[in-house]
Amino acid sequence: MSPAPSAEKPLAGLEEIKKNYPASSAALMPALYEARRQFGWLSPEALSAVADALNLPKAAVRSTASFYGMFNQGKTGRHLVRICTNVACMVLGAGSVLEKLEARYGLTPGGTSRDGRFSLAVTECIGACDKGPAMLVDDDMHTDLTGERITEVLERYE
Amino acid sequence: MMTLTINGRKVELEAPVTILEAAKRNGIDIPTLCHHPALELWGGCRMCLVEVEKMPRLQTACTVRVADGMAVRTETPRVVAARKAILEFLLINHPLECPTCDKAGICALQDLTVRYGAVAGRFEEGKRVFPEVVDDPVIVRNMKRCIMCTRCVRMCDGVQGASAIGVIEKGARSHIEPFSGGRYNCEYCGNCLAVCPVGAIMSKLHRYTYRPWQMEKTVKTICSFCGVGCTLRLEVRDESIKRVSAEFGDGVNNGLLCGRGRFGYEYVDSPERLKTPMIRRDGRLERATWDEALDYAAGRLLEIKKENGGGAIGGIAGGRATNEEIYLFQKLLRAGFGSNNIDSIARLGLLPAQKILEDIFGQGAVANLISGIPRSEAVLVVASDPTRTNPVMGLEVRAAARAGRKVIAIGHIDGLRRHRTRRLEAKTGPGQETMIMAGLLSELLKIKPLSGENPEFEEAIKAWGKTLPGPDEVEKATGVSALLISGTAADLKDVSTSSIIAGRELASSMDIRTNMMMLAALGYILNSRIFLISEHPNEQGLIEMGCSPEMLPGERPVDVRTFREKCEQAWGAGINPEAGLTLMEMIEQAGASIKALYVMGEDPAFGLPSRGRVKEALGRLDFLIVQDIFMTGTAAMADVVFPALAWSEKDGTYTNLEKRIQRLKKAVIKEGIEDWRILAEIGKRAGLPSRYRGVADIFREIAQVSPIHAGLGFESIEEGGVLWPYKGKPLSVSSSPSSAAGRFPGSGKAVSISPPPDRNVLKLVLDKPLLHSGTLSTHSDALMDLTGGPEARLCPETGGKLGIADGDAVKVSTGEGQISLRARLESGLPEDALFISNDFREAGAFELFGYQLEPESKTPVLTVQNLKVERL
Ligand code: SF4
Ligand code: SF4
Ligand code: SF4
Ligand code: FES
Ligand code: FES
């Protein structure tokens, strides 16, 4: 994943997205998703590119992006792991999952593994409370985690 | 009609205003935090909660409108408890650092806490911590003090239209920030800090030096940076301006300001201010007493008059002088020294443009109210960028765009780029507005029914319109699509009121007459108010006070005997019946027919095109007097230098671009004598008796001499100023319909429009930075910090072609001269243009521009030869 849009790898596909919405401000959320998908995080350059493409003020784009936890504006490792720590998941054992991540990969919330493979974030409820503990790796949902299962799942991500 | 019972009192209301408004009208104070009269309603802070009978919950007075029969109580125990609770919540997170906060004393949160006594908190929460951001040149951000009222954001977004800041993050982490997270890099109007109710966003200029209760006085005066004429409040302590502000409801600006007005005042206290008169002795300027300098100046001028006649003396005035000073200046030259060689920077565009329009529509053609702009159905902005040159007027254009009016930008208008406008911008680069206007006009004449108000005029413009290039031709020449032009015309078809804003670019052109006639024709067809952008605060005054070779005060032609006689009687001296030399003609004649120049508040060696040649010309003079506040380039060449006062140090009047006469009020004066006294003293020595005790007396004389000002008293100019028509008589040039029509050339006579420039050739464009206006602002540290220095702006594509990167040092040269400055790459600029401003002494555009005089108006039209740009 490239760190930020550049002349060689510009942010693409926003024209298509814009077509689906009556006003460019309505296209902001999908455009931010798209930018995050392409670059893994929303760098200032990516936010600027979104603002330019949609002809919206840059400050407004950053304001919207910063409201949503999933629009991460910090650089991450190759994969972003989000562990839910809301009530249901916590009760079902999210704590031990976190412990395992620290023991196995040296990951603490907000941190990145030394090899740059994973970054860890804790997140609010991701809507899988019945199958907790739950996590997202990039955009994939994984549920019913245990200390063992989590390494098994993560090993699938290079 | 509706009835409202408020705190037991019955009141009648015409319209359903908000409870807050109704209460205010009846003298009842409801506290607010997020509400501001200039901003969109929000209802977020809940400070204004009131009890409304039959409504179970408390209501926000700032958003709920009165309904007939409503009963409201504003200060019940329940209401008080709610307000106290809100304050308690706000204070959980508030740092309570009032002793070191500049806002203390005028802080809404502090005042309300005192009022409701929410002094004991019951919550144990950590305080929010945000580092204070001080790395911005003029704005300090202290987000731990923020109460999230969003007033700043609504101001920046919804009024200023800069949309530079936003709420970042959420919950307790939310705070206000610009995109960068650090410096604002915005328009620096400071309107955000003006509406912040607490000390979260503040001006850096008075950090730790301003305590509101220690201010000795507050003076309401007029801004001296441009022709809008915003009302300012200067707060003074220890003979120094501590803070500049404006309040909602103040003046034409209604409380808004731009960065120049708000942050540009520091030059007044600059150590470089001139303090004593100076006389050149043995080639060096040396201090002299006032009497020495006055005697010497008057004596030399009289000698030169005796030897060569009055025609050997000339005068040039700047646009920051007051009406009273300008009046005395031209009187001194005309009556004291028998010369009509008097001109000013208004010659660079405003005067000739206005004259052509007045010739068609009569005096007052441009006397229109800025506040009417957002109410017009359509707004045409042509060539000049009001958001840069007259920023607060620019806000009205943005307001029009926001309100869904049809805003049409003809040419490259930076400040409207992100606003809802229809943009007619030539692909061939800047300077093609004449052509585009022609296309629009010819199309409009075809499709828009005319009012029939002035049939003769209509015939004339119709015949003239037939000779104009149509949309197809315009497309070929400029690249603006014919469809866009005809679409725009169709869009304007049903418009019944409009505003047109145009500036110097159209006037400083070989096509000036064509341009103005097109403006007039468009103005007639679209029923427009016309506004001419005015760069200097009293440029209009220069025109009205007779500071031009061909016009006496009141804009009366000098070659008409009756007008002259009126002045002669009042002045007790004869006036030369022949019009004098214009601005550039005086410079060109320096050393030849012009032997002496008196320059007041202007720096020709810097502010006129072809600097090199102008300096040479000034060097050829036998005698040069300069009256200025700084040692300008021209002053350094002078034989006598008089120190002038700054705008905050004098009384008098300014006339803004709406033709509104406003009072300038003295706030503080450290040393020096008033500029008018200098003129009067020289006058005395030249045999002009002076009985003035103050500026009011001068104004009285103006009212006596100038027919348009007749009957106006200085004291009668109250807040808000005096609007056109003043009490006197306008000049009746063309009040009859046929004479207006007569100003248009007969049918069949083709319109001459200069050919479009070659698209592949780089063009030099005179830039107008938002935060500077002439050298004055370069003596204000804050404004200097914001821009840093001279810049050449160009688009990244052109930069790429020339091998120039952002921030590179470049050398720009033309046949006139060369300068070195920094390159600034900015996307969105026209591809073939290099923008350089003339606001910096070291590297000003007038070092590069030559000029050619437009034969009729004698306006210098900028020319460029052999433009070269190299990386250093
Ligand atoms: S100074 Fe003006 S442009 Fe800048 S953030 Fe404040 S309101 Fe917006
Ligand atoms: S910075 Fe001031 S104006 Fe802006 S939200 Fe905070 S308290 Fe309100
Ligand atoms: S718009 Fe003009 S008059 Fe108003 S504050 Fe700015 S410079 Fe001063
Ligand atoms: S609480 Fe974890 S998914 Fe809902
Ligand atoms: S003032 Fe009414 S809700 Fe803030």
**Sequence-distant contacts of B693-699: CB under 8 A, at least 24 apart:** B694/B651, B695/B322, B695/B324, B695/B650, B695/B651, B695/B652, B695/B653, B698/B324, B698/B327, B698/B328, B699/B323, B699/B324, B699/B653
To the nearest whole number, what is the mean pLDDT of chain B?
A: 93
A15-57 tens-digit pLDDT: 999 999 999 899 999 999 999 889 888 999 999 999 999 999 9
- For CA atoms B685, B687, B689, B694, give the dihedral sign: negative
B28-69 tens-digit pLDDT: 999 999 999 999 999 999 999 999 999 999 999 999 999 999
Mean pLDDT, rounded, for B148-164: 97
Q: Classify burial at B579, counting beta carbons within 10 Å of its beta carbon; exposed 0-12, middle 13-18, buried 19 or more.
A: middle
A chain contacts of residue B168, beta-carbon cutoff 8 Å: 62-63, 66
Confidence of residue B749 (pLDDT cuts 50, 70, 90): low
What is the domain partition of chain B in residue ranges?
Answer: 2-75, 123-269, 278-345+547-709, 350-532, 763-871
CA A64 to chain centre: 15
Mean pLDDT, rounded, for B747-751: 57
B798-835 tens-digit pLDDT: 999 999 999 999 999 999 999 999 999 998 898 889 99
Distance between first and last Cα of chain B = 73
- The tokens for B150 are 């969003």
Strands B640-643 and B623-628 turn out to be parallel
Confidence of residue B145 (pLDDT cuts 50, 70, 90): very high
Of A44, A48, A55, the CB nearest to B418: A55
Q: What is the CATH number of domain B278-345+547-709?
A: 3.40.50.740
Structure confidence at residue B178 (pLDDT): 97
H or E, element range at A121? strand A118-123
B171 touches chain A (CB under 8 A): no
Instruction: With CB atoms and an 8 Å threshold, state whether B164 touches A67.
Output: no
Q: Of the residues B46, B58, B87, which should be mutated to test ligand 5's pocket, given the most ligand atoms within 8 Å of the CB?
A: B46
Mean pLDDT, rounded, for B583-591: 97
Statement: residue B351 has pLDDT above 90 = yes
Mean pLDDT, rounded, for B648-675: 94
Q: B177 to chain A: nearest residue by CA?
A: A59
Which ligand minimizes its atom distance to the CA of B36? 5
Confidence of residue B416 (pLDDT cuts 50, 70, 90): very high
Residues B55, B70: Cα–Cα separation, whole Å? 10
Instruction: With CB atoms and an 8 Å threshold, state whether A59 touches B169.
Output: no
Based on C-alpha coordinates, what's the Rg of chain B? 29
Question: Ligand 1 mean position to B533 CA, how many Å?
Answer: 23
B542-576 tens-digit pLDDT: 999 999 999 999 999 999 999 999 999 999 999 99
Instruction: With CB atoms and an 8 Å threshold, state whether B163 touches A66.
Output: no
Interface confidence, given as ipTM, is 0.89
B165 touches chain A (CB under 8 A): yes
Instruction: With CB atoms and an 8 Å threshold, state whether A55 touches B157.
Output: no
Quickly list H helices, A40-128: 44-54, 58-67, 87-91, 94-105
Residues 816-835 of B with CB under 8 A from A: 827
Mean pLDDT, rounded, for A47-70: 94
- The tokens for B3 are 């009835």
Contact assessment for residue B325 and residue B679, using Cβ atoms and an 8 Å cutoff: yes
Mean pLDDT, rounded, for B665-693: 93
Mean pLDDT, rounded, for B345-352: 95
Residues B297, B641: Cα–Cα separation, whole Å? 9
Class of domain B2-75: alpha beta
Contact assessment for residue B380 and residue B499, using Cβ atoms and an 8 Å cutoff: yes
Q: A58 to chain B: nearest residue by CA?
A: B179
B795 touches chain A (CB under 8 A): no
Instruction: With CB atoms and an 8 Å threshold, state whether B168 touches A44.
Output: no
Statement: residue B272 has pLDDT above 70 = yes
Q: Rounded to a whole number, what is the distance in Å from the CA of B142 to chain A's nearest CA?
A: 18
Residues 396-435 of B with CB under 8 A from A: 418
H or E, element range at A148? helix A147-154
Pocket flag, ligand 3, residue B391 (CB < 6 Å): yes
Residues B729, B711: Cα–Cα separation, whole Å? 10
Q: Rounded to a whole number, what is the distance in Å from the CA of A63 to chain B's nearest CA?
A: 5
Distance between first and last Cα of chain A = 12
Instruction: With CB atoms and an 8 Å threshold, state whether B179 touches A58.
Output: yes
Q: What is the CATH number of domain B123-269?
A: 3.30.70.20
Q: B828 to chain A: nearest residue by CA?
A: A52
Statement: residue B329 has pLDDT above 60 = yes
Confidence of residue B441 (pLDDT cuts 50, 70, 90): very high
Confidence of residue B750 (pLDDT cuts 50, 70, 90): low
Pocket flag, ligand 3, residue B223 (CB < 6 Å): yes
| Residue ID of nearest Cα to ligand 5 atom 3 | B43
Structure confidence at residue B746 (pLDDT): 53
Strands A135-137 and A118-123 turn out to be unpaired
Closest CA to B650 of B664, B640, B661, B660: B664
Confidence of residue B739 (pLDDT cuts 50, 70, 90): low
Instruction: With CB atoms and an 8 Å threshold, state whether B168 touches A57.
Output: no
Question: Ligand 3 mean position to B567 CA, how many Å?
Answer: 34
B163 touches chain A (CB under 8 A): yes
Statement: residue B257 has pLDDT above 80 = yes
User: What DSSP character marks residue B805?
Assistant: -
Pocket flag, ligand 2, residue B764 (CB < 6 Å): no
Residues B782, B204: Cα–Cα separation, whole Å? 9
Pocket flag, ligand 2, residue B108 (CB < 6 Å): no
- In the A/B pair of chains, how many CB contacts fall below 8 A? 35
B759-784 tens-digit pLDDT: 788 999 999 888 887 777 888 888 88
What lines the ligand 1 site, CB under 6 Å?
B 155-156, 160, 162, 164-165, 184, 186-192
Question: Ligand 5 mean position to B142 CA, how many Å?
Answer: 22
B170 touches chain A (CB under 8 A): yes
B chain contacts of residue A66, beta-carbon cutoff 8 Å: 168-170
Instruction: With CB atoms and an 8 Å threshold, state whether A59 touches B418.
Output: no
Mean pLDDT, rounded, for B97-109: 94
Looking at domain B350-532, its CATH superfamily turns out to be Dimethylsulfoxide Reductase, domain 2 (3.40.228.10)
- The tokens for B55 are 């409504």
Statement: residue B733 has pLDDT above 70 = no
**Percent of chain B residues past pLDDT 70, beyond the cut:** 98
Common-topology check for domains B2-75 and B350-532 = no
**Percent of chain B residues past pLDDT 90, beyond the cut:** 84
B597-638 tens-digit pLDDT: 999 999 999 999 999 999 999 999 999 999 999 999 999 999
Residues B500, B577: Cα–Cα separation, whole Å? 36
Question: Ligand 3 mean position to B702 CA, how many Å?
Answer: 26
Q: Which amino acid is at B51?
A: E
Of A47, A55, A59, the CB nearest to B164: A59
Ramachandran angles phi, psi of B810, nearest 5°: -130, 155
**Predicted TM-score of the model (pTM):** 0.94
Q: Of the residues B165, B177, B388, which should be mutated to test ligand 1's pocket, given the most ligand atoms within 8 Å of the CB?
A: B165
Q: Rounded to a whole number, what is the distance in Å from the CA of A12 to chain B's nearest CA?
A: 19
Q: A70 to chain B: nearest residue by CA?
A: B169
Contact assessment for residue B824 and residue B807, using Cβ atoms and an 8 Å cutoff: yes
B169 touches chain A (CB under 8 A): yes
User: Using alpha carbons only, what angle is made at residue B846 by residues B224 and B837, rounded to the nearest 5 degrees?
Assistant: 55
Structure confidence at residue B747 (pLDDT): 47
Class of domain B763-871: mainly beta
Instruction: With CB atoms and an 8 Å threshold, state whether B163 touches A59.
Output: yes
Contact assessment for residue B851 and residue B859, using Cβ atoms and an 8 Å cutoff: no
Residues B489, B491: Cα–Cα separation, whole Å? 5
Pocket flag, ligand 2, residue B196 (CB < 6 Å): yes
Question: Ligand 3 mean position to A137 CA, how many Å?
Answer: 54
DSSP for B539-585, written as a single string:
HHHHHHTT-BTTEETTTEETT-HHHHHHHHHHHTS---SS----HHH
The more confidently predicted of residues B223 and B736 is B223
User: Using alpha carbons only, what angle is made at residue B333 by residues B331 and B335, rounded to the nearest 5 degrees?
Assistant: 60
Structure confidence at residue B737 (pLDDT): 58
Residues B468, B553: Cα–Cα separation, whole Å? 37
Quickly list H helices, B93-214: 108-116, 151-158, 191-195
Question: Which residues of chain A have a Cβ shorter than 8 Å from any chain B Cβ?
Answer: 44, 47-48, 52, 55, 57-60, 62-63, 66-67
Structure confidence at residue A76 (pLDDT): 84
Q: Rounded to a whole number, what is the distance in Å from the CA of B167 to chain A's nearest CA?
A: 5
Give the ligand 1 atom nearest the CA of B190: 1
Contact assessment for residue B520 and residue B361, using Cβ atoms and an 8 Å cutoff: yes
Strands A135-137 and A140-142 turn out to be antiparallel
